[in-house]
């Protein structure tokens, strides 16, 4: 049986749904243990233990892992690597930070952002900003893999796997935690929201972006997204960017307003279940993937849509 170690995504209090989605990919490869590394994260370990078909949860609780820095977490994974054939993590900021280091130290090729498991050694991943899919087979003895979680449904939480506390003497003199700030917009989180409303450069200014888009998002209970062009123009903060160099989302409903549909943006949202596009250019590429397309002036269409909701 192929043994898989899945690195859990969490904030020391709550298990991120990305872990349950990555577990679906991991279970398609082999028998799965989940590693929960952090500080005072017993509640996270308990949440991981209820994921269906998980073999066991490894709980590493230490101040060294409190802030999920890549250096100590990678060292912990290396300590455990001898017992496993594959090491997986969600393709989140943490996963993308930790696993390349693990792959380098193991001297293996990382397999990034898989969207399908064909066999334990064969996977599908998007390339060229999602315009092509690459099927690859890896003969690495240790496979290091990140999972694009929007491509997998979460496993059900109706089990009870054992939780095993593990100790480690790992220290970290390579990096230190300085601080973090959480932006609280009062709206839904972009990566987990069921509805996303995104705006592009066509809004013309930050003031119009907020004046028109925010009321619509509030009516829909939606998260706010933005194209790279809108972020570069300072209409929206960087953490709102959807696309190849931003966040990848797959909500039930994605409304793209004033977004032409550049390749890098489509790579971040084309897996949404329903896509609505509003653009004044009837030849905009976004219309090629939209389920509903409205050719209209956004300065007229958005206020009217908001008023009708």
Domain boundaries, the chain: 3-165, 195-308
Q: Is 296 exposed, middle or buried (0-12, 13-18, 19+ CB in 10 A)?
A: middle
- Please provide the CATH number assigned to the domain covering 195-308: 3.40.50.1220
pLDDT band for position 188 (50/70/90)? confident
Q: Write down the mean pLDDT value for the chain.
A: 94
3-165: what CATH class? alpha beta
Are the beta carbons of 61 and 42 closer than 8 angstroms?
Answer: yes
pLDDT band for position 186 (50/70/90)? low
User: Other CB atoms closer than 10 Å to residue 32's CB: what's the count?
Assistant: 27
> What's the pLDDT score for residue 244?
85
pLDDT tens-place string over residues 254-268: 999 999 999 989 999
Q: Do domains 3-165 and 195-308 have the same CATH topology?
A: yes
SS3 of 293, please?
strand
Q: What span, in angstroms and rounded, lies between the C-alpha atoms of 114 and 306?
A: 38
The pTM is what?
0.83
Structure tokens belonging to residue 61 = 């609780």
Using alpha carbons only, what angle is made at residue 190 by residues 187 and 191, rounded to the nearest 5 degrees?
140
pLDDT band for position 129 (50/70/90)? confident
Q: Which residues on neighbouring strands pair with residue 60, listed in sequence order?
A: 37
pLDDT tens-place string over residues 151-173: 999 999 998 999 999 998 999 99
pLDDT tens-place string over residues 233-245: 999 999 899 998 8
């Amino acid at each position: 049986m192929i043994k898989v170690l899945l690195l859990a995504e969490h904030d020391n209090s709550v298990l991120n749904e990305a872990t349950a989605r990555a577990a679906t990919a991991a279970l398609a490869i082999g028998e799965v243990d989940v590693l929960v590394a952090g500080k005072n994260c017993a509640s996270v370990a308990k949440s991981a233990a209820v994921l269906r078909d998980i073999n066991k949860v490894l709980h590493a609780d230490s101040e060294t892992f409190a802030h999920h820095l890549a250096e100590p977490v990678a060292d912990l994974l290396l300590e455990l690597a001898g017992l496993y054939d594959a090491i997986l993590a969600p393709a989140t900021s943490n996963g993308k930070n930790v696993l390349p280091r693990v792959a380098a130290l193991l001297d293996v090729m990382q397999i990034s952002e898989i969207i399908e498991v064909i066999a334990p050694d064969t996977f599908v991943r998007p390339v060229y900003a999602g315009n092509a899919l690459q099927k690859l087979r890896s003969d690495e003895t240790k496979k290091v893999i990140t999972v694009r979680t929007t491509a997998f449904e979460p496993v059900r939480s109706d089990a009870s796997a054992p939780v095993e506390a593990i100790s480690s003497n790992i220290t970290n003199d390579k990096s230190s935690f300085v601080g973090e700030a959480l932006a609280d917009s009062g709206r839904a989180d972009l990566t987990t929201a069921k509805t996303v409303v995104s705006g592009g450069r066509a809004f013309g200014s930050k003031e119009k972006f907020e004046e028109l888009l925010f009321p619509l998002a509030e009516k829909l209970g939606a998260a706010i997204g933005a194209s790279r062009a809108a972020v570069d123009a300072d209409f929206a903060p960087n953490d709102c960017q959807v696309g190849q160099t931003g966040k990848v989302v797959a909500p039930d409903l994605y409304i793209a307003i004033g977004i032409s549909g550049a390749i890098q943006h489509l790579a971040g949202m084309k897996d949404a279940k329903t896509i609505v596009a509003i653009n004044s250019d009837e030849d905009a590429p976004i219309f090629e993937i939209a389920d509903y397309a409205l050719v209209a002036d956004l300065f007229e269409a958005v206020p009217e849509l908001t008023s009708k909701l």
